[in-house]
Amino acid sequence: MAKTREIRAEYDRETIVVYQAYSDAIATPALAANRFVAPFSFKRMTWIKPSFLWLMHRSNWGHKKGQERTLRVRITRAGWDQALALGVLTSADGPVFGNASTWQTEFKNARVHVQWDTERSLRGAALDHLSIQVGVSRHLIETFVNDWIVSIEDLSATVAKIHRLLRAGKAKEAARSLPTERAYPVPSEAARRLWIDP
């Protein structure tokens, strides 16, 4: 049984996969350059998510305006681990912060924001565990683009195929095309600060 707060992702010894959804205007040049380039904004936070199905819920399988293209972004685990180490939760709830004032100060100065959202099933139903979103701020975004990204792949055709199968009532066949995500090991201090279950 999955834990309440646990990072699940597709990863290997050196890299981890995260997902982002963009318009054609951002996705097409990013794929050509194998990195994000204009009109991608380097002056605002960008959110990366290791859960494929959470992004499918958020982007409505690529049908939401401005999120038509699903990108599979492979980044270094060193970069991902750095983001987790710098992360501050978007809420003061839970055992991490002693009081709201401490959280507010840390959150205001954080270069990375971390949020937990309800994970989703293949059909979009809410599950009993949470999915992580990592927000890379403008203070770190050039490092993300220039140093962490290994490759960018367009998954839009695969997304459309899975969604067609799902709508046709072929859930088992659709599930076979999903990425394999497993528990990601998080260093103990980062796990404590991000309220990840032991």
Tokens 């050509």, located at residue = 32
**What is the pLDDT at residue 3?**
64
For residue 147, CA distances in Å to 33, 47, 128, 141 come to 14, 17, 35, 10
**Among 151, 136, 154, residue whose Cα is nearest residue 47:** 136
**What is the pLDDT at residue 95?**
85
**What is the pLDDT at residue 1?**
47
Report d(CA 194, CA 5) in Å as an integer: 9
**What is the pLDDT at residue 58?**
96
**What is the pLDDT at residue 105?**
92
pLDDT by 10s per residue, the chain, length 198: 456 899 999 999 999 999 999 999 999 999 999 999 999 999 999 999 999 999 999 999 999 999 999 999 999 999 999 999 999 999 988 888 878 898 999 999 999 999 999 999 999 999 999 999 999 999 999 999 999 999 999 999 999 999 999 999 999 999 999 999 999 999 999 999 999 987
Rg of the chain in Å (alpha carbons): 17
**Among 15, 10, 29, 73, residue whose Cα is nearest residue 47:** 73
pTM of the model: 0.95
Would the CA dihedral through 55, 110, 86, 96 be positive or negative? negative
Non-local (6+) Cβ contacts of 105 within 8 A are none
Helix (H, G, I), strand (E, B) or coil at 86: helix
Compute φ and ψ for 51, nearest 5 degrees: -95, 115
